Amino acid sequence: MTSDSFPNSYQHVSVLFRESVDILSPEAGSILVDCTLGGGGHTALMLELVGPTGRVVAFDRDIIAIDNAKVRFSKDISSGRLILIHSPFGELSSQLKKLDLIGRVSGVLADIGVSSHHLDIAARGFSFMNDGPLDMRMDQSQGESAAEFLASATEQDIADVIFKFGEEPKSRFIAKLICERRDTSPFKTTKQLADLIASKVFWKEASRKHPATRTFQALRVYVNNELGELKSLLNSAPSVLRIGGVLAIITFHSLEDRLTKVSMLTLTGKTKRQSLPRDIPLTSADIDRLSESVAEVIKPFPQMPTENEVRSNPRARSAKLRAIRLTMECPIIV
Protein backbone atom coordinates (compact mmCIF):
# COMPACT_ATOMS: atom_id res chain seq x y z
CA MET A 1 0.00 0.00 0.00
CA THR A 2 1.28 3.47 -0.82
CA SER A 3 0.44 6.86 0.58
CA ASP A 4 -1.58 7.51 -2.56
CA SER A 5 -4.09 4.87 -1.46
CA PHE A 6 -5.79 7.34 0.88
CA PRO A 7 -4.92 10.85 -0.33
CA ASN A 8 -5.67 13.54 2.23
CA SER A 9 -7.90 11.13 4.14
CA TYR A 10 -6.12 10.38 7.41
CA GLN A 11 -9.06 10.82 9.77
CA HIS A 12 -8.58 10.62 13.52
CA VAL A 13 -10.59 11.96 16.45
CA SER A 14 -8.11 13.31 18.99
CA VAL A 15 -8.93 12.18 22.53
CA LEU A 16 -8.70 14.68 25.42
CA PHE A 17 -8.05 17.14 22.64
CA ARG A 18 -7.96 20.46 24.47
CA GLU A 19 -6.93 19.07 27.86
CA SER A 20 -3.78 17.40 26.55
CA VAL A 21 -2.45 20.55 24.88
CA ASP A 22 -3.56 22.90 27.64
CA ILE A 23 -1.60 20.91 30.20
CA LEU A 24 1.56 21.77 28.27
CA SER A 25 0.83 25.46 29.03
CA PRO A 26 2.48 26.59 25.81
CA GLU A 27 3.53 30.20 25.42
CA ALA A 28 3.77 32.16 22.19
CA GLY A 29 7.13 31.52 20.58
CA SER A 30 7.74 28.20 22.31
CA ILE A 31 8.73 24.87 20.76
CA LEU A 32 6.37 21.88 21.07
CA VAL A 33 6.60 18.26 19.93
CA ASP A 34 3.64 16.13 18.84
CA CYS A 35 4.95 12.56 18.99
CA THR A 36 1.85 11.13 17.30
CA LEU A 37 0.84 13.32 14.37
CA GLY A 38 -2.02 11.12 13.10
CA GLY A 39 -4.68 13.32 11.52
CA GLY A 40 -3.01 16.47 12.81
CA GLY A 41 -5.57 17.53 15.41
CA HIS A 42 -3.16 18.16 18.26
CA THR A 43 -0.58 19.57 15.85
CA ALA A 44 -3.05 22.17 14.56
CA LEU A 45 -3.89 23.34 18.07
CA MET A 46 -0.21 23.49 19.00
CA LEU A 47 0.54 25.67 15.96
CA GLU A 48 -2.28 27.99 16.95
CA LEU A 49 -1.05 28.37 20.53
CA VAL A 50 2.67 28.88 19.84
CA GLY A 51 1.86 31.60 17.32
CA PRO A 52 3.86 32.81 14.33
CA THR A 53 7.19 32.81 16.19
CA GLY A 54 6.81 29.30 17.67
CA ARG A 55 7.60 25.91 16.19
CA VAL A 56 6.08 22.43 16.27
CA VAL A 57 7.85 19.17 15.46
CA ALA A 58 5.52 16.28 14.62
CA PHE A 59 6.47 12.60 14.44
CA ASP A 60 4.68 9.68 12.78
CA ARG A 61 5.91 6.34 11.49
CA ASP A 62 2.95 6.15 9.09
CA ILE A 63 3.82 7.72 5.73
CA ILE A 64 0.12 8.26 4.99
CA ALA A 65 -0.15 10.54 8.03
CA ILE A 66 2.98 12.42 6.96
CA ASP A 67 1.78 12.89 3.37
CA ASN A 68 -1.65 13.99 4.53
CA ALA A 69 -0.04 16.58 6.84
CA LYS A 70 2.12 17.89 4.00
CA VAL A 71 -1.10 18.90 2.25
CA ARG A 72 -2.98 20.16 5.30
CA PHE A 73 -0.09 22.15 6.76
CA SER A 74 1.75 23.17 3.60
CA LYS A 75 1.98 26.86 4.61
CA ASP A 76 3.27 26.05 8.10
CA ILE A 77 5.87 23.71 6.65
CA SER A 78 6.99 26.32 4.10
CA SER A 79 7.37 28.96 6.81
CA GLY A 80 9.37 26.61 9.04
CA ARG A 81 6.77 26.63 11.81
CA LEU A 82 6.13 22.89 11.37
CA ILE A 83 8.71 20.16 10.90
CA LEU A 84 7.46 16.67 9.99
CA ILE A 85 9.55 13.62 10.88
CA HIS A 86 8.77 10.21 9.41
CA SER A 87 10.10 8.14 12.32
CA PRO A 88 8.81 6.36 15.40
CA PHE A 89 8.73 8.61 18.46
CA GLY A 90 11.26 6.34 20.16
CA GLU A 91 13.81 8.26 18.07
CA LEU A 92 12.77 11.55 19.70
CA SER A 93 16.13 12.61 21.12
CA SER A 94 18.26 11.53 18.15
CA GLN A 95 15.98 13.36 15.70
CA LEU A 96 15.80 16.52 17.83
CA LYS A 97 19.56 16.49 18.25
CA LYS A 98 19.85 16.84 14.47
CA LEU A 99 17.63 19.92 14.73
CA ASP A 100 19.66 21.37 17.63
CA LEU A 101 16.57 21.36 19.87
CA ILE A 102 17.86 19.34 22.84
CA GLY A 103 16.99 21.17 26.06
CA ARG A 104 14.89 23.78 24.24
CA VAL A 105 11.46 22.11 24.00
CA SER A 106 8.60 23.46 26.13
CA GLY A 107 6.25 20.52 25.75
CA VAL A 108 6.14 16.94 24.45
CA LEU A 109 2.79 15.21 23.86
CA ALA A 110 2.22 11.58 22.85
CA ASP A 111 -1.21 10.06 22.15
CA ILE A 112 -0.25 6.40 22.42
CA GLY A 113 -1.94 3.58 20.55
CA VAL A 114 -3.84 2.99 17.37
CA SER A 115 -5.60 5.82 15.53
CA SER A 116 -9.13 5.96 14.18
CA HIS A 117 -7.66 5.75 10.68
CA HIS A 118 -5.93 2.46 11.43
CA LEU A 119 -9.10 0.96 12.87
CA ASP A 120 -11.50 2.22 10.22
CA ILE A 121 -9.50 1.48 7.07
CA ALA A 122 -9.85 -2.26 6.48
CA ALA A 123 -6.71 -2.47 4.34
CA ARG A 124 -4.55 -1.57 7.34
CA GLY A 125 -5.56 -4.86 9.02
CA PHE A 126 -5.90 -3.60 12.60
CA SER A 127 -9.54 -4.35 13.32
CA PHE A 128 -11.67 -7.48 13.28
CA MET A 129 -14.70 -5.23 12.69
CA ASN A 130 -13.60 -4.64 9.07
CA ASP A 131 -12.21 -7.56 7.07
CA GLY A 132 -8.84 -6.87 5.52
CA PRO A 133 -5.29 -8.21 5.20
CA LEU A 134 -3.86 -9.28 8.57
CA ASP A 135 -1.14 -6.62 8.59
CA MET A 136 -1.25 -4.27 11.64
CA ARG A 137 2.02 -2.46 10.83
CA MET A 138 1.88 1.28 11.36
CA ASP A 139 4.77 1.61 8.92
CA GLN A 140 3.95 -0.80 6.13
CA SER A 141 7.29 -0.22 4.43
CA GLN A 142 9.19 -2.34 6.93
CA GLY A 143 8.96 -5.05 9.55
CA GLU A 144 6.97 -8.24 9.90
CA SER A 145 3.19 -8.22 9.48
CA ALA A 146 0.89 -9.97 11.95
CA ALA A 147 0.14 -12.64 9.31
CA GLU A 148 3.85 -13.31 8.79
CA PHE A 149 4.41 -13.62 12.54
CA LEU A 150 1.54 -16.10 12.97
CA ALA A 151 2.78 -18.13 10.00
CA SER A 152 6.31 -18.63 11.32
CA ALA A 153 6.36 -18.27 15.13
CA THR A 154 6.26 -21.25 17.46
CA GLU A 155 3.13 -22.00 19.44
CA GLN A 156 4.96 -20.99 22.63
CA ASP A 157 6.04 -17.64 21.15
CA ILE A 158 2.51 -16.88 19.97
CA ALA A 159 1.11 -17.74 23.40
CA ASP A 160 3.72 -15.55 25.09
CA VAL A 161 2.91 -12.56 22.86
CA ILE A 162 -0.85 -12.90 23.41
CA PHE A 163 -0.40 -13.20 27.17
CA LYS A 164 2.29 -10.53 27.63
CA PHE A 165 0.86 -7.84 25.37
CA GLY A 166 -2.83 -8.69 25.48
CA GLU A 167 -3.11 -9.96 29.06
CA GLU A 168 -5.27 -12.74 27.62
CA PRO A 169 -5.84 -15.54 30.18
CA LYS A 170 -6.65 -18.01 27.37
CA SER A 171 -3.45 -17.27 25.47
CA ARG A 172 -2.20 -20.88 25.36
CA PHE A 173 -5.53 -22.17 24.08
CA ILE A 174 -5.74 -19.48 21.40
CA ALA A 175 -2.13 -20.09 20.33
CA LYS A 176 -2.91 -23.80 19.94
CA LEU A 177 -5.97 -22.98 17.81
CA ILE A 178 -3.90 -20.71 15.60
CA CYS A 179 -1.17 -23.30 15.03
CA GLU A 180 -3.66 -26.08 14.29
CA ARG A 181 -5.49 -23.94 11.73
CA ARG A 182 -2.41 -22.48 10.00
CA ASP A 183 -1.17 -25.94 9.04
CA THR A 184 -4.10 -26.35 6.67
CA SER A 185 -5.15 -22.73 6.07
CA PRO A 186 -2.65 -19.91 6.75
CA PHE A 187 -4.15 -16.70 8.12
CA LYS A 188 -4.36 -13.93 5.55
CA THR A 189 -7.23 -11.73 6.75
CA THR A 190 -8.46 -10.24 10.01
CA LYS A 191 -11.81 -11.99 9.68
CA GLN A 192 -10.21 -15.43 9.44
CA LEU A 193 -8.43 -14.93 12.76
CA ALA A 194 -11.35 -13.24 14.53
CA ASP A 195 -13.86 -15.87 13.37
CA LEU A 196 -11.65 -18.72 14.58
CA ILE A 197 -11.32 -17.22 18.06
CA ALA A 198 -15.03 -16.35 18.26
CA SER A 199 -15.99 -19.88 17.27
CA LYS A 200 -13.86 -21.59 19.90
CA VAL A 201 -13.61 -19.17 22.83
CA PHE A 202 -16.75 -18.78 24.94
CA TRP A 203 -18.15 -15.28 25.12
CA LYS A 204 -21.45 -13.65 25.87
CA GLU A 205 -22.94 -12.22 22.70
CA ALA A 206 -24.29 -9.30 24.73
CA SER A 207 -20.76 -8.47 25.84
CA ARG A 208 -19.20 -5.29 24.44
CA LYS A 209 -15.82 -7.03 24.18
CA HIS A 210 -15.26 -9.47 21.31
CA PRO A 211 -13.20 -12.54 22.35
CA ALA A 212 -10.50 -11.63 19.82
CA THR A 213 -9.98 -8.13 21.28
CA ARG A 214 -7.02 -8.98 23.50
CA THR A 215 -5.37 -11.12 20.81
CA PHE A 216 -5.61 -8.34 18.24
CA GLN A 217 -4.24 -5.83 20.76
CA ALA A 218 -1.34 -8.13 21.56
CA LEU A 219 -0.41 -8.69 17.92
CA ARG A 220 -0.58 -4.96 17.18
CA VAL A 221 1.58 -4.04 20.18
CA TYR A 222 4.12 -6.75 19.31
CA VAL A 223 4.32 -6.06 15.56
CA ASN A 224 4.89 -2.34 16.13
CA ASN A 225 7.11 -2.73 19.22
CA GLU A 226 4.82 -0.24 20.91
CA LEU A 227 6.03 -0.76 24.47
CA GLY A 228 9.65 -0.61 23.36
CA GLU A 229 9.01 2.70 21.60
CA LEU A 230 7.18 4.04 24.66
CA LYS A 231 10.09 3.07 26.92
CA SER A 232 12.50 4.89 24.61
CA LEU A 233 10.27 7.96 24.63
CA LEU A 234 9.93 8.01 28.42
CA ASN A 235 13.71 7.59 28.83
CA SER A 236 14.70 10.30 26.39
CA ALA A 237 11.92 12.91 26.59
CA PRO A 238 13.21 14.61 29.79
CA SER A 239 16.54 15.35 28.09
CA VAL A 240 14.90 17.29 25.24
CA LEU A 241 12.83 19.49 27.57
CA ARG A 242 13.92 22.80 28.97
CA ILE A 243 13.53 23.29 32.71
CA GLY A 244 9.81 23.90 33.26
CA GLY A 245 8.94 21.90 30.16
CA VAL A 246 6.11 19.37 30.26
CA LEU A 247 5.85 15.74 29.16
CA ALA A 248 2.25 14.56 28.64
CA ILE A 249 1.21 11.03 27.67
CA ILE A 250 -2.25 9.70 26.76
CA THR A 251 -2.58 5.94 27.19
CA PHE A 252 -5.42 3.54 26.39
CA HIS A 253 -4.63 0.24 28.08
CA SER A 254 -3.09 -0.96 31.32
CA LEU A 255 0.30 -1.96 29.90
CA GLU A 256 0.95 1.53 28.51
CA ASP A 257 -0.45 3.29 31.54
CA ARG A 258 1.52 1.19 34.04
CA LEU A 259 4.77 1.83 32.17
CA THR A 260 4.04 5.56 31.95
CA LYS A 261 3.04 5.87 35.59
CA VAL A 262 6.11 4.07 36.94
CA SER A 263 8.49 6.00 34.68
CA MET A 264 7.01 9.35 35.68
CA LEU A 265 7.06 8.46 39.38
CA THR A 266 10.72 7.50 39.02
CA LEU A 267 11.52 10.89 37.48
CA THR A 268 9.75 12.63 40.35
CA GLY A 269 11.78 10.56 42.82
CA LYS A 270 8.67 9.17 44.51
CA THR A 271 9.67 5.55 44.04
CA LYS A 272 12.98 6.24 45.77
CA ARG A 273 11.39 8.40 48.48
CA GLN A 274 9.42 5.38 49.64
CA SER A 275 12.68 3.55 50.37
CA LEU A 276 14.28 6.39 52.39
CA PRO A 277 14.83 5.68 56.11
CA ARG A 278 11.93 6.86 58.28
CA ASP A 279 13.86 6.98 61.54
CA ILE A 280 16.34 9.64 60.40
CA PRO A 281 15.26 13.31 60.28
CA LEU A 282 15.60 14.71 56.77
CA THR A 283 15.00 18.22 55.46
CA SER A 284 13.13 18.83 52.22
CA ALA A 285 16.47 19.54 50.55
CA ASP A 286 17.87 16.23 51.82
CA ILE A 287 14.87 14.31 50.49
CA ASP A 288 15.11 15.94 47.07
CA ARG A 289 18.84 15.19 46.87
CA LEU A 290 18.54 11.58 48.02
CA SER A 291 15.52 10.82 45.84
CA GLU A 292 17.13 12.40 42.76
CA SER A 293 13.95 14.12 41.68
CA VAL A 294 14.16 15.81 38.29
CA ALA A 295 10.44 16.41 37.73
CA GLU A 296 7.14 17.03 39.47
CA VAL A 297 3.73 15.53 38.83
CA ILE A 298 1.34 18.18 37.54
CA LYS A 299 -1.80 16.37 38.72
CA PRO A 300 -1.87 13.59 41.34
CA PHE A 301 -4.33 11.48 39.34
CA PRO A 302 -4.67 10.83 35.60
CA GLN A 303 -7.12 13.00 33.73
CA MET A 304 -9.99 11.08 32.14
CA PRO A 305 -12.41 11.98 29.32
CA THR A 306 -15.70 13.58 30.29
CA GLU A 307 -18.97 11.70 29.92
CA ASN A 308 -19.84 13.93 26.96
CA GLU A 309 -16.62 13.02 25.17
CA VAL A 310 -17.14 9.30 25.74
CA ARG A 311 -20.70 9.56 24.41
CA SER A 312 -19.50 11.27 21.25
CA ASN A 313 -16.40 9.09 20.88
CA PRO A 314 -16.69 5.68 22.64
CA ARG A 315 -13.05 4.92 21.82
CA ALA A 316 -12.07 7.58 24.37
CA ARG A 317 -13.52 5.67 27.32
CA SER A 318 -10.23 4.07 28.45
CA ALA A 319 -7.98 7.09 27.86
CA LYS A 320 -5.78 8.43 30.67
CA LEU A 321 -3.67 11.58 30.54
CA ARG A 322 -0.61 11.83 32.78
CA ALA A 323 1.90 14.68 32.83
CA ILE A 324 5.06 15.82 34.60
CA ARG A 325 7.02 19.09 34.61
CA LEU A 326 10.82 19.09 34.45
CA THR A 327 12.42 20.77 37.49
CA MET A 328 16.10 20.28 36.68
CA GLU A 329 18.22 19.54 33.64
CA CYS A 330 18.49 15.89 32.59
CA PRO A 331 21.44 14.16 30.88
CA ILE A 332 21.11 13.74 27.14
CA ILE A 333 19.97 10.27 26.06
CA VAL A 334 20.34 9.59 22.34
Could you give the CA distance from residue 47 to residue 56 in angstroms, rounded to a whole number? 6
Residue 2's Cβ-count burial label (10 Å; 0-12, 13-18, 19+) is exposed
Give one word for 88, left, alpha or beta, with left for phi > 0 and alpha for psi -120 to 50.
beta
Could you give the CA distance from residue 117 to residue 64 in angstroms, rounded to a whole number? 10
Could you give the CA distance from residue 51 to residue 82 in angstroms, rounded to a whole number? 11
Do the beta carbons of residue 142 and residue 225 sit within 8 Å?
no
Report domain 140-223's class.
mainly alpha
Residue 312's Cβ-count burial label (10 Å; 0-12, 13-18, 19+) is exposed
Question: What pLDDT is attached to residue 1?
Answer: 41
Task: Report the CATH architecture of 3-116+226-326.
Answer: 3-Layer(aba) Sandwich (3.40)
**Could you tell me where in the chain the CATH 3.40.50.150 domains are found?**
3-116+226-326
Closest by CA to 96, choosing from 38, 181, 33, 37, is 33
Question: What pLDDT is attached to residue 293?
Answer: 82
The angle at the Cα of 327, spanning 326 to 333, to the nearest 5 degrees, equals 50
CB-facing half-sphere around the CA of 143: CA atoms within 13 A: 17
Please name every residue paired with 249 in a beta bridge, in sequence order, or none if there are none: 110, 322
pLDDT in tens, the chain (334 residues): 444 444 445 555 678 989 999 999 999 999 999 999 999 999 999 999 999 999 999 999 999 999 999 999 999 999 999 999 999 999 999 999 999 999 999 999 999 977 555 655 666 767 777 889 999 999 988 899 999 999 999 999 999 999 999 999 999 999 999 999 998 999 999 999 999 999 999 766 656 688 999 999 999 999 999 999 999 999 999 999 999 999 999 999 999 999 999 999 989 886 555 544 455 555 665 555 545 688 999 988 999 999 999 888 887 888 999 999 999 988 765 5
Question: What pLDDT is attached to residue 278?
Answer: 56
Closest by CA to 213, choosing from 137, 155, 173, 162, is 162
Question: What pLDDT is attached to residue 14?
Answer: 79
**Could you tell me where in the chain the CATH 1.10.150.170 domains are found?**
140-223
Question: What pLDDT is attached to residue 300?
Answer: 86
Question: What pLDDT is attached to residue 35?
Answer: 97
Could you give the CA distance from residue 56 to residue 7 in angstroms, rounded to a whole number? 23
Q: How far is CA 257 from each of CA 90, 119, 304, 314, 319, rounded to the nearest angstrom?
A: 17, 21, 12, 19, 9
